[in-house]
Amino acid sequence: MNSIAAVAVTLLLAGLPAQEAATAPAACPVPQPPAVERPAKPERPPVPSCVNEARGTHTCNNRALNAYQQASTAYQQAFTAYVNQVNDYIQKLEAYTRQSVAYAECERDVVLPNPIISG
């Protein structure tokens, strides 16, 4: 039985042109998805109660204004870091998508080395 299978494989491979047999890779690299990242979006600091946003006025002392300004600065830095983390993760996902397409094309080429099947 093994000799029959070997003969069948030999006949099948002999029927393929040499170029097609040489271009098909032995194994296609399987892409690995990136680790899931879910960065937490920072919360904006609350506006002090001494600020009237509707009128654009305030009755705050300097200490309250300085504290709010420091909290706002810290928020901006945290938000910038958050945006950078999200963008880095998106780049990893896009790279994984490109690798997945390359893998699918490689598998297609292994299964169907010539786009037109002829008799």
Domain ranges of the chain: 2-111
- The end-to-end CA distance of the chain, in Å, is 27
Which pTM does this prediction carry? 0.66
pLDDT for the residue numbered 8: 42
pLDDT computed for residue 29 by the predictor: 93
pLDDT tens-digit series, residues 20-68: 444 544 689 999 999 999 999 999 999 999 998 899 899 999 999 999 9
pLDDT of residue 111: 87
Average pLDDT for the chain: 82
What are the φ/ψ torsions at residue 42 (nearest 5 degrees)? Answer: -70, 155
Each residue of 84-103: b (16+ CB within 10 Å) or e? eeeeebeeeeeeeeeeeeee
Structural contact between residues 53 and 47, judged by C-beta atoms closer than 8 angstroms: yes
CB 45 within 8 A of CB 68: yes
pLDDT of residue 115: 64
Does the structure show a pLDDT above 70 at 118?
no
Question: What average pLDDT does range 61-79 have in this prediction?
Answer: 95
